[in-house]
Amino acid sequence: MSRREETFRAVRAKAEVSVLILGGGINGTGLFRELSLQGVDCLLVDKSDFVAGASSKSSRMIHGGLRYLESREFRLVKESLFERNRLLEDAPHYVAPLRTTIPLPSRLGGLLRSMLIFMGIKVRPGERGLLPVKAGLWFYDFITRKDRRTPRHVITPKAESLAQLPGLRRDICATATYWDAWITQAERLCIELIRDARDANPNSLALNYVRPTGIEAGAVVLTDTLTDRTFAVRPKVLVNATGGWVDIANASLGLETHFMGGTKGSHLVVDCPPLHKALDGRMVYYQPADGRVCIVFPFMDRVVMGSTDIRIDDPDQARCEEGEIDYMLTTLRGVFPEVAVSREDIVYVFCGVRPLPGGQGKVLANVSRGHSLKVVDADADRPFQTFCMVGGKWTTFRAFAEQTADAILPQLGSPRRCGTAHLAIGGGKGFPTTAEAREAWISRVADASGLGRGRIAALLARYGTAAEAYAMGADAEAERPLESLPDYTAGEIARIAAEEDVEHLADVVCRRSIIALLGRATGDVLAELAEIVGAALGWPPERKAAEVRRALDEVRVP
Ligand SMILES: Cc1cc2nc3c(=O)[nH]c(=O)nc-3n(C[C@H](O)[C@H](O)[C@H](O)COP(=O)(O)OP(=O)(O)OC[C@H]3O[C@@H](n4cnc5c(N)ncnc54)[C@H](O)[C@@H]3O)c2cc1C
């Protein structure tokens, strides 16, 4: 019996659960781990695949949020920098320091505007010059002075800046370079949180493609969207962690709320070696004339750029539109005028909805990225409290999960058993963090498994130390490289299909790997993958063909 069937049986058999969590993005999966570690049994459900929402569509910055200093969100920046440093420590297999450069058009530009924003006067942000940026970076360094994990910022004069980044716009007075962090495999970290939760508490269960469809006699009715079967669950506490969908999910349970005011943001992934080279391995953080903040950074052999910020009511309608593509290509030209990037270079596009709190004014860039917990009391129809997780950043998910768990545990009469600030996640456990330790790890696992050192290094980068278990069980047949994508092997894909809640082919390329993100989910690759995934999951030939069509539709560049 598949794990999904076993899970359905287990849920039906007990029909009660301490905490039902709706939404398997970073906030839902983070809370699932947090509570499971405290011995609380949870059921996590996602209406789509896990991590199909904003959590797989972010800019991948694990950051303090330099620009939030301007709006005096010191607590948020402090918390974010603390969490950034924890992720560098707890998920070193995917989170790494990132050198970030800001081109500065003038010395004093934007000072008055920054001061007005600082004083709480709502004005549209604009280009910031050396002085306001320097003040922000000084504060950034100050906050992390006792927990320094990245170098301090530096201001580089114009001539030197242009020598380092020859493609950069020439009308600058200097550049500022500071360090934040980025996450390579955001999707996999969510999947690893689910795995860690299940390992910590076998009574915690997780199901993707399951949504709440109503309330019956005080129980939440859940529908398996793959088969249309329904079942009822009585939670002691309900958590709505559906991000941009919070109000919509509440409505499906008969609750009218107006917590959210989401905005959509799109990114482009381009295959453009001259731009890759021009970036010199760093992120460039720039401000087009409209005052928004945009970023461009090398991602493996591709370049990612973004993003837009457009109000949207229904997250299911979020798509990257033509106008957004034009905006991103045009604003990039403003910062790298010499580097030609065209629409033909685009290999992937993604768009997600920021779960921002509603009712915070018209200047979208000024809406707080902080998080809060909204509690709806129990009533006769819903005899359980509903905790809604509103807002937040990817970076701060652990803190948000910790705070939410601390609000829920007293309701359940359960004490906190452990903290998570210094607890490694998934393949981050025992990860070799120095060059020497890494070499030793690779040699040891290569010798023990018989696989080559290059292959072990690739597996370590992809799965962290969890690579060892795979490598030890991989025989020659499993290690057969894919014809269409020789970086990956058949055994690796089969393992993902069998162990990581895969229901559709697109789950593998979009949310268990970065195959789609790198623009490598072509027809040939999908056809070959469908054979392997189909064999693991028992798909008949017509299902494999349908899965290829569905995946092509999901990864299509508009
Ligand atoms: C363009 C963009 C760029 C960003 N960049 C950054 C960044 O660089 N750094 C950073 O820290 N943060 C960034 N963020 C913010 C960050 O991505 C989000 O704050 C975070 O991912 C929100 O996670 P979540 O779990 O709350 O929501 P989501 O990831 O959206 O997850 C919600 C889940 O709920 C599911 N769902 C919806 N309705 C239901 C239902 N009725 N029942 C069950 N499940 C349901 C969805 O399928 C989805 O999987 C960015 C966001 C965007 C959109």
Identity of the amino acid at 106:
S
Helix 130-143 / helix 111-118 crossing angle, nearest 10 deg: 50
For residue 418, report the distance from its CA to the centre of ligand 1, in Å: 26
- In a mutational test of the pocket of ligand 1, which residue from 252, 317, 354 has the highest number of ligand atoms less than 8 Å from its CB? 354
**Statement: residue 111 has pLDDT above 70:** no
Place of tokens 């949504």: 211
Q: How far is CA 399 from the centre of its chain?
A: 15
Q: Which residues, listed in sequence order, are joined to residue 220 by a DSSP beta bridge?
A: 215, 233
| Cα(459) to centroid(ligand 1), Å | 27
Distance 261 CA to ligand 1 centre (A): 13
Could you tell me if the CB of 243 is within 6 A of ligand 1?
A: yes
Atom of ligand 1 nearest to the CA of 354: 53
* Three-state helix/strand/coil letters over 254-299: CCCCCCECCEEEEEEEECCHHHHHHCCCCEEEECCCCCCCEEEEEE
Cis peptide, bond prior to residue 71, ω within 30 of zero: no
Give distance in angstroms: CA of 508 to centre of ligand 1: 19
pLDDT in tens, 429-480: 999 999 999 999 999 999 999 999 999 999 999 999 999 999 999 998 999 9
Distance separating alpha carbons of residues 330 and 537, to the nearest angstrom = 45
CB 97 within 8 A of CB 191: no
**DSSP label of 519:** T
Neighbours of 350 (CB within 10 A): 21
Predicted confidence at residue 119, as pLDDT, reads 62
Say yes or no to pLDDT of 132 above 90: no
CB of 489 closer than 6 angstroms to any ligand 1 atom? no
Ligand 1 proximity of 315 Cβ (cutoff 6 Å) = no
Are the CB atoms for 409 and 387 separated by under 8 Å?
A: no
- Which residues, 6 or more positions from 163, have their beta carbon under 8 angstroms from its beta carbon? none
- Share the mean pLDDT of the chain: 94
How many angstroms separate the CA atoms of 393 and 61, rounded?
10
Helix (H, G, I), strand (E, B) or coil at 47: coil
Q: What is the pLDDT of residue 3?
A: 85
CA of 132 to the centre of ligand 1 (A): 31
pLDDT value at residue 169:
95
Count the Cβ atoms, other than its own, within 10 Å of residue 392: 27
pLDDT category of residue 2 using cuts at 50, 70 and 90: confident
Q: What does the chain come to in residues?
A: 558
Span 199-237, pLDDT tens digits: 999 999 999 999 999 999 999 999 999 999 999 999 999
Q: What does the pLDDT read at residue 360?
A: 61
Q: Residue 492: what pLDDT?
A: 97
Give the model confidence (pLDDT) of 249-278 as tens digits: 999 999 999 999 989 999 999 999 999 999
CB 394 within 8 A of CB 83: no
Q: What percent of the chain has pLDDT over 70?
A: 95
Q: What is the pLDDT of residues 404-418, one digit of tens each?
A: 999 999 999 999 999
Element (H, E) at 219: strand 219-224
Higher pLDDT, 136 or 367: 136
Q: Cβ(27) to ligand 1 under 6 A?
A: yes
- Model pTM? 0.96
| Ligand 1 atom with minimal separation from the 351 CA | 1
Q: CA–CA separation, 307 vs 292, rounded Å?
A: 9
Which residue has the CA at smallest separation from atom 14 of ligand 1?
A: 58
The atom number, within ligand 1, closest to the CA of 60 reads: 8
pLDDT of 464? 98
Considering all CA atoms of the chain, what is the largest pairwise distance in Å, rounded to the nearest integer? 72
- Is residue 242 in contact with ligand 1, taking CB distance under 6 Å? yes
- Collapsing DSSP to helix, strand or coil, 491 comes out as helix
Q: Which residues of 252-289 are buried (b: 16+ CB within 10 A; e: fewer)?
A: bbebebebbbbbbbbbbbbbbeebbebbeebbbbbbbe
Band the pLDDT of 364: cuts 50, 70, 90.
low
Whole-number Å distance, alpha carbon 247 to ligand 1 midpoint, is 14
Question: To which residue do tokens 């349970």 refer?
Answer: 253
**Nearest partner of 11 among 254, 265, 220, 288, judged by Cα:** 220
Task: Name, in order, each residue with C-beta under 8 angstroms of 227's C-beta and a sequence gap of 6 or more.
Answer: none
DSSP 464: G
Do strands 385-391 and 230-240 pair parallel, antiparallel, or not at all (unpaired)? parallel
- Work out whether the CA dihedral 411, 416, 419, 425 comes out positive or negative: negative
- Rounded CA gap, 127 and 218, in Å? 53
In this structure, what token pair is assigned to residue 516? 């789609």
Nearest CA to ligand 1 atom 27: 243
C-beta 61 within 6 A of ligand 1: yes
Give pLDDT, residue 373.
96
Q: pLDDT tens digits, residue range 23-38?
A: 999 999 999 999 999 9
Q: Is 54 in the pocket of ligand 1 (CB under 6 A)?
A: yes
Is a pLDDT exceeding 90 seen at residue 107?
Answer: no
Under a CB-based contact definition with an 8 Å cutoff, are residues 391 and 372 in contact? yes
Ligand 1 atom closest to 244 (CA): 30
Band of the pLDDT at 375, cuts 50, 70, 90? very high
For residue 363, pLDDT beyond 60: no
Using a 6 Å cutoff on CB, does residue 370 contact ligand 1? no
- Check if 48 has its Cβ closer than 6 Å to any atom of ligand 1: yes
pLDDT at 130: 86
Cα(401) to centroid of ligand 1, in Å? 14
Q: Which of 63, 242, 299, 367 to mutate to test the pocket of ligand 1 (most atoms within 8 A of CB)?
A: 242
pLDDT of residue 367: 67
Helix (H) or strand (E) holding 529: helix 523-537
**296 CA → ligand 1 middle, Å:** 21
Q: Is the pLDDT of residue 290 over 90?
A: no
Taking the centre of ligand 1 as the mean of its atom positions, its distance from the CA of residue 25, in whole angstroms, is 6
Asked if residue 120 has pLDDT above 70, the reply is: no
Closest Cα to atom 9, ligand 1: which residue?
Answer: 61
Handedness of CA 106, 107, 111, 114 (dihedral sign): positive
26 lines ligand 1 (CB under 6 A): yes
- Token pair of 196 as six digits: 């860690």
For every residue of 303-328, DSSP letters joined together read: EEEE---EE-S-GGG----HHHHHHH
pLDDT at 73: 83
Structure confidence by residue, pLDDT tens digits, 378-391: 999 999 999 999 99
Residues 322-331 have pLDDT tens digits of 999 999 999 9
Structure tokens at 237: 């506490």
Rounded to the nearest angstrom, the distance between the alpha carbon of 63 and the centre of ligand 1 is 16
Decide whether any atom of ligand 1 lies within 6 Å of the 56 Cβ. no
> Mind listing the pLDDT tens digit for each residue in 502-548?
999 999 999 999 999 999 999 999 999 999 999 999 999 999 999 99
d(CA 218, CA 235) in angstroms, rounded, equals 9
Rounded CA separation 165/181 (Å): 20
Atom of ligand 1 nearest to the CA of 29: 25
Strand partners for 303: 270, 298
Asked if residue 354 has its Cβ within 6 Å of ligand 1, the reply is: yes
Q: For a pocket test of ligand 1, which of 21, 56, 83, 245 has the largest count of ligand atoms closer than 8 A to its C-beta?
A: 245
Q: Quick one: pLDDT at residue 183? A: 98
Cα–Cα distance, 529 to 533 (Å, whole number): 6
Q: What residue spans of 375-512 are helical by DSSP H?
A: 397-412, 435-449, 453-463, 467-473, 490-499, 505-506
